[in-house]
Structure 1
Amino acid sequence: MTTHNTKSGKSGGPDDPSDPNGGETRCGFVAVIGAPNAGKSTLVNLLVGAKVSIVTHKVQTTRTRVMGIAMKGQAQIVFIDTPGIFQPKRRLDRAMVGAAWMGVDEADQTVFLIDASVGLNAENQAILDGLVQRKAKAVLALNKIDLVKREKLLELAATLNESGAFTDTFMISALKGYGAQDLLDHLAANVSPGPWMFPEDQLSDMPQMLLAAEVTREKLFLNVHQELPYATTVETELWEPTNDGGVKIEQTIYVARDSQKAIILGKGGQRVKVIGKSAREELVELLGCPVHLYLFVKVRERWQDDPARYRVWNLDFNA
């Protein structure tokens, strides 16, 4: 096991021209796993150099596997941002956790991201046990190191490495960028020689219609409190070009009950207007063109038991 100390300063980003592997093209898949709110999406977005996965302060925001594509010299690293691994209670929970472990099984490398300020709690212990049971080797990344004293970080790293599941350990802050370049360099150096899987300028495998729905769902999480966002889903129903060189997008926010619909609409429809305005502004930035976004809120009882919803997210309905 090798521990990599954090360098002062931020990551140089995936477009750093240095190439640790010479001129030979290399490519590999890296699964990023961890408990909900460990910072997986923040880390993937940082390493890719663009927003490919939504981020909120709420746990279990990511519902499906999202691929973010980073370039490091001649190495293409395809990051799989997985849903947080937790003790599932519902069908959707089981499908999300199943998708996370499938990411591990399919990847060439795995990064286990742990919130260092939380430490080895029950959720992280369960994930560690899962790695050990699979006899999977992973890279340990201790995140949010700026919130923890050095002595506790070293103690936590030593405890985790007793499992024998880790080949290397990195101390990082995904939010501030500390240590991320070292992690990217290591992953790039360990992908196998071979052709790239995606064009050099592609950042994600997510279809634009699904990405747009995810952006709106992120704004839902940020503007609606308590448990309600978990009872909602967003689907892009229409995507068509407009005369001003932009795109018209119609999306439906599905809820399970009429009372939930009223909360999302807000008094006089004000809350859904705020959600729509925020989503539209981000989509303009992401798509680089005018966006005409129209949101509708509808009740669809038991949508979490509809197999069609799971196909949209590439989740296993029977997990």
Structure 2
Amino acid sequence: MNETPIAPERQRCGFVAILGAPNAGKSTLVNAMAGTKVTIVSPKPQTTRFRVRAVLIEGEAQIVLVDTPGIFAPRRRLDRAMVSAAWGGAKDADFALLVVDAKAGITEGLRSIIEKLAEQKRTLWLALNKVDLIPREQLLPLAAELHKLLPFNETFMISAEKEKGLDRLREKLAEAMPPGPWMFPEDELSDLPNRMLAAEVVREQILRQTHEEVPHHASVETESWTERPDGSARVDCTIYIARASQKAILIGDKGQKIKEIGRRAREELTALLERPIHLFLNVKERPGWDEERGRIRALGLEDEG
């Protein structure tokens, strides 16, 4: 944070859409750049479901990173809304940063993303992520092959998880921001409301602690947020699940699984918000929720039909 305010005439501010295939490391990169958790992460693909903005201050520049859902071939109404949110984030931003999993290389999914980006004729940067997981001699040929598919204005070799190569990326982003007033207060790290943060932290624990078909068939909604006189808050969340079998897995033997999900989510929320959080979870079976317009809008997505 800057110790003295930046004069308005010297301020720069811009939006950078973080794009890529599922599991490329976009959310890990955004959190590492922000220096705190602003978006959830898990080893499972399609973790991010809607756009989340992280606000960085670098010198005289305010950089707004727009974390977007991974782009994939959609099947459900929810999938279509997620992919639309990703492309919408790219369209609204000053430029886009394509994050590529260097270990996975050039997949068919990545080729389709690059083909669509080529049609947009916009400023585009490339971040080869997870470079610590492949031999160094493979990096330049991979970058060269990607540049043949699409000319990038800048290329970065990074490891978001190890926080390697991020200083240069921040500096270059700051230089690239257009002149203009800052869009967010200096102490604001994200545009994610606390109610949505609570729901996302619970969903992250579902992703991390359940397997089989459960994770991507679960939706979490914060039903109520009650401030208490002692400065703590009571938070009631409902987890919607598609089938009875998934509900049984989520609750676990004698309720142990849901208790553990609640315990870990409560601890994380308490740490993130720096105040005691009393979290209560309820699980409801709701077949076909991922095709419901209302549920998709409740997730912060626009229904694409």
TM range (shorter): over 0.9
Which of 250, 269, 273 is residue 287 of structure 1 equivalent to?
Answer: 273
Secondary structure of the corresponding residue to residue 287 of structure 2: coil
Within 2, Cα distance between the matches of 1:188 and 1:277?
Answer: 39
Which of 167, 170, 177 is residue 184 of structure 1 equivalent to?
Answer: 170
1:260 equivalenced with 2:260 (yes/no): no
Show the counterpart of 2:105.
119
Identity within the alignment, %? 51
1:317 equivalenced with 2:303 (yes/no): yes
Structure 1 residue 16: deviation in Å? 8.8
Runs of 4 or more consecutive aligned structure 1 residues displaced over 2 Å after TM superposition: none
Structure 1 residue 23: deviation in Å? 7.8
CA offset digits 1:124-157 (Å, max 9, x no partner): 1111111111122310000001111122100000
AA aligned opposite 2:229: N
Asked if the contact 1:69/1:79 (under 8 Å) is kept, the reply is yes
Structure 1 residue 296: deviation in Å? 0.5
Show the counterpart of 2:196.
210
CA offset digits 1:233-276 (Å, max 9, x no partner): 00000101123210000000111122221111111111000000
Asked if the contact 1:141/1:172 (under 8 Å) is kept, the reply is yes
Within 2, Cα distance between the matches of 1:254 and 1:104?
Answer: 30
1:165 equivalenced with 2:148 (yes/no): no
Show the counterpart of 2:58.
72
Show the counterpart of 2:229.
243
Within 2, Cα distance between the matches of 1:28 and 1:67?
Answer: 12
Structure 1 residue 162: deviation in Å? 1.5
Show the counterpart of 2:260.
274
Structure 1 residue 216: deviation in Å? 0.2
Secondary structure of the corresponding residue to residue 149 of structure 2: coil
Within 1, Cα distance between the matches of 2:62 and 2:240?
Answer: 37
Give structure 2 stretches of 5+ with no counterpart: none
Within 2, Cα distance between the matches of 1:16 and 1:49?
Answer: 15
Asked if the contact 1:36/1:60 (under 8 Å) is kept, the reply is yes
AA aligned opposite 1:88: P
Secondary structure of the corresponding residue to residue 192 of structure 1: coil
Asked if the contact 1:241/1:247 (under 8 Å) is kept, the reply is yes
Asked if the contact 1:224/1:264 (under 8 Å) is kept, the reply is yes
Residues 98, 32 of structure 1: alpha-carbon distance in 2 compared, 3 angstrom cutoff: same
Residues 219, 196 of structure 1: alpha-carbon distance in 2 compared, 3 angstrom cutoff: same
Within 2, Cα distance between the matches of 1:176 and 1:110?
Answer: 22
Which of 87, 90, 93 is residue 73 of structure 2 equivalent to?
Answer: 87
1:142 equivalenced with 2:150 (yes/no): no
AA aligned opposite 1:50: T
Show the counterpart of 2:210.
224
Asked if the contact 2:76/2:291 (under 8 Å) is kept, the reply is no
Asked if the contact 2:114/2:150 (under 8 Å) is kept, the reply is no
Show the counterpart of 2:291.
305
- Let me know the Cα RMSD of the aligned residues: 1.6
Secondary structure of the corresponding residue to residue 65 of structure 2: strand
Which of 77, 94, 97 is residue 108 of structure 1 equivalent to?
Answer: 94
Asked if the contact 1:25/1:195 (under 8 Å) is kept, the reply is yes
Within 1, Cα distance between the matches of 2:115 and 2:17?
Answer: 17
Show the counterpart of 1:32.
18
Show the counterpart of 1:9.
none
Asked if the contact 1:136/1:165 (under 8 Å) is kept, the reply is no
CA offset digits 1:158-177 (Å, max 9, x no partner): 01111343101000000001
Show the counterpart of 2:40.
54
Asked if the contact 1:23/1:74 (under 8 Å) is kept, the reply is no
Asked if the contact 1:244/1:290 (under 8 Å) is kept, the reply is no
CA offset digits 1:57-104 (Å, max 9, x no partner): 000000001111111011111110000011111111111111101111
Within 2, Cα distance between the matches of 1:16 and 1:156?
Answer: 38
